[in-house]
């Protein structure tokens, strides 16, 4: 395979990745976007294998290609098994795990390039010094990759909620002088990186990688569970920039293009999500994100107030007698795996002539697009699913809003209480509807640790129980 053909195939794969991002920008084109992404990655992987084989043949030995094929088989098998087994509620953890692997791969490639640059074509012989430009790229790729790996490991632990180790708890972990330590470590990494760039000192490179692993932990541990959707998006961006940095070092146009696409799109998504949560984008980058939320009172200290509660039959009666219904899905719906039962209920209501729509907040669930994927799995028609900006104006004319496991994203305090930690955060304006039905297991607060005034309004009725059971009971009552 000629180098011209390899370059052309990499260009085709790059175009596929661009089309994938374009397709994933809307639910109706998301399947086509996924198809473009899979085709592009297949072309990129096969072309890279062919390139490795070509270089090995030129070197007079093809033994190394066997290790590449073993790695592909092992990684592909593990990915297939994980993709088949993962539950929808565990998708954020899977994404965090994948980010960590990308970061670690970038670190390993950078180390290999520093130790044996001639093997990767960076220099002609082992005695030639690595050019300063390549050393800068290796420093950036290794540092960002190390931060991505250790930060993603912490994010995985916080999202899973399985581990008792304090760093993996959903609550923020803070200590005196935390930001000052992060600043010192960041400056040290920068100084060591520049030292390696201009001198080629291997000790400086090793130390900067070690410090990058440490700071990756420190910038994620002060972030609370409420802010994990943005953290996932941010780490996605970091993994892309790490790949791009290594791509420059290896002179691999495919890595540069793919990494730049992931890095830039992840950064844009992080900015959009910060706006949706009324947070500072720079605080996210600096690891100070979520500080305000951590200052809120614990749920157990909230004042006990009376609420109006009802049964699933009561809720079904209200839904059956409405002309228009908006459903607000939250993480509680995902935990209960109730999306398929909800789809059946929606179909029953639609057959009665009731207009049913779904309202999706940008940070609903535990990662960007979590609720969209959840509803798509249940084959909810795309034309019934609306983003916050497109549907907020309709709440005031809606008969019934059904809130399923959502909390902070429908909290009126964001609009009415200027002293609230979520003040200014854009919300789904469910409180404007004529009637609100809220399904939760209990009156426990959401990730932000705040009481929700929506639950205490005269127009609101609470239905306490598992979302799937409540929806199935409502389905029977509607029938």
| Catalytic positions, written as ranges | 408
Scanning the structure block, which residue is given the tokens 């939250």?
330
Torsion region of 289: left, alpha or beta (phi above 0 gives left; psi -120 to 50 gives alpha): beta
User: How would DSSP label each residue in 96-151?
Assistant: HHHHHHHHHHHHHHHHHHHH-GGGGTSSSSTTSPPPHHHHHHHHHHHHHHHHHHHH
DSSP conformation class of 447: T
In the β-sheet with 435-440, what is the strand arrangement from edge to edge?
385-387, 355-360, 324-329, 400-404, 435-440, 460-464
By the 8 A CB rule, do 172 and 221 touch?
A: yes
Q: Provide the 3-class DSSP secondary structure of residue 171.
A: coil
Integer angstrom CA distances of residue 354 from 259, 322, 391: 46, 7, 17
The angle subtended at Cα 125 by Cα 123 and Cα 131, nearest 5°, is 30
By the 8 A CB rule, do 173 and 166 touch?
A: yes
Assign 3-class secondary structure to 204-253. Answer: HHHHHHHHHHHHHHHCCCCCCHHHHHHHHHHHHHHHHHHHHHHHHHHCCH
The H or E element spanning position 359 is strand 355-360
The whole-angstrom separation of Cα 166 and Cα 175 is 13
By the 8 A CB rule, do 343 and 358 touch?
A: no
Which of 163, 143, 278 is closest to 219 using CA atoms?
A: 143
The H or E element spanning position 325 is strand 324-329
Task: For strands 460-464 and 324-329, give the pairing.
Answer: unpaired
Joined together, the tokens standing for residue 217 give: 């932990």
Supply the angle between the helices 312-320 and 467-478 in degrees, to the nearest 10. Answer: 50
């Amino acid at each position: 395979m000629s180098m011209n053909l390899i370059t052309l195939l990499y260009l085709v794969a790059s175009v596929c990745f661009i089309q994938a991002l374009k397709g994933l920008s809307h639910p109706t084109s998301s399947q086509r976007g996924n198809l473009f992404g899979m085709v592009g990655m297949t072309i990129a992987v096969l072309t890279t294998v062919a390139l490795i084989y070509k270089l090995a043949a030129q070197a007079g030995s093809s033994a190394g290609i066997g290790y590449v094929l073993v790695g592909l088989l092992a990684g592909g098998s593990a990915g297939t098994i994980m993709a088949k087994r993962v539950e929808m509620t565990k998708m954020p953890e899977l994404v965090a795990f994948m980010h960590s692997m990308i970061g670690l791969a970038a670190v390993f490639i950078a180390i290999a390039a520093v130790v044996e640059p001639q093997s990767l074509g960076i220099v002609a012989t082992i005695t030639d010094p690595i050019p300063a430009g390549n050393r800068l790229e290796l420093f950036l790729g290794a540092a960002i990759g190390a931060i991505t790996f250790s930060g993603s490991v912490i994010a995985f632990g916080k999202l899973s909620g399985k581990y008792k180790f304090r760093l993996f708890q959903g609550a923020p972990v803070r200590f005196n002088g935390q930001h000052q330590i992060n600043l010192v470590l960041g400056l040290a990494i920068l100084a060591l990186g520049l030292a390696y760039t201009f001198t080629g000192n291997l000790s400086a490179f090793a130390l900067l990688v070690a410090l990058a692993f440490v700071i990756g932990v420190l910038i994620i541990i002060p972030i609370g569970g409420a802010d994990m959707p943005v953290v996932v998006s941010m780490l996605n961006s970091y993994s892309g920039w790490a790949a791009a940095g290594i791509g420059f070092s290896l002179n691999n146009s495919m890595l540069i293009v793919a990494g730049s696409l992931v890095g830039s799109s992840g950064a844009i998504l992080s900015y959009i999500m910060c706006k949706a949560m009324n947070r500072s984008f720079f605080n996210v980058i600096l690891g100070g994100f979520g500080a305000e939320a951590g200052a809120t009172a614990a749920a157990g200290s909230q004042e006990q107030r009376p609420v109006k509660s009802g049964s699933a039959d009561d809720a079904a009666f209200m839904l059956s007698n409405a002309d228009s219904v908006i459903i607000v899905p939250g993480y509680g719906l995902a935990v209960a795996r109730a999306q398929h039962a909800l789809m059946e209920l929606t179909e029953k209501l639609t057959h009665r002539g009731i207009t049913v729509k779904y309202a999706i907040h940008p940070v609903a669930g535990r990662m960007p697009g979590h609720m969209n994927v959840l509803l798509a799995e249940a084959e909810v028609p795309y034309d019934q699913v609306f983003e916050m900006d497109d549907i907020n104006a309709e709440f005031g004319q809606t008969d019934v809003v059904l809130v399923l496991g959502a909390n902070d994203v429908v909290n009126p305090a964001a609009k009415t209480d200027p002293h609230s930690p979520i003040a200014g955060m854009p919300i789904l304006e469910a409180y404007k509807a004529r009637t609100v039905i809220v399904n939760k297991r209990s009156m426990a607060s959401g990730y932000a640790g705040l009481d929700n005034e929506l639950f205490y309004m005269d127009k609101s009725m609470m239905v306490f129980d598992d979302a799937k059971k409540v929806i199935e009971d409502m389905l029977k009552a509607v029938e």
